[in-house]
């Protein structure tokens, strides 16, 4: 099964933003067209403190409750 090139760009965008959050503490996942929060995001950020999260302009059906447990000090932006 082949995936469109845009899917690959989307994954790269999310990983780049996770990498930026490691130094800034701000996980900006706004406008990433996310339908869910993949466990890989939590794994990439394991051991790093995230203090702010933005999930604006995505396709999430509900807020990911797991995010509260993984980033207990985070506030929304």
Q: Count structural domains, the chain.
A: 1
Predicted local distance difference test score (pLDDT) of residue 72:
93
Predicted local distance difference test score (pLDDT) of residue 9:
78
The tens-digit pLDDT sequence of the chain (77 residues) is: 554 555 567 799 999 999 999 999 999 999 999 999 999 999 999 999 999 999 999 999 998 999 999 999 998 87
45 token code pair: 């950020």
Predicted local distance difference test score (pLDDT) of residue 11:
92
Q: Strands 75-76 and 26-28: what pairing?
A: unpaired
Residues 5, 48: Cα–Cα separation, whole Å: 30
Predicted local distance difference test score (pLDDT) of residue 32:
95
Domain that holds residue 66: 5-76
């Amino acid at each position: 099964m082949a995936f469109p090139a845009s899917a690959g760009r989307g994954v790269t965008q999310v990983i780049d933003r996770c990498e930026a959050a490691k130094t800034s503490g701000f996980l900006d996942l706004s406008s990433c067209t996310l339908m869910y929060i993949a466990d890989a995001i939590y794994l990439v950020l394991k051991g790093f403190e995230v203090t702010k999260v933005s999930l604006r302009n995505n396709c999430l059906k509900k807020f990911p409750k797991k995010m509260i447990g993984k980033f207990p000090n985070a506030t929304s932006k």
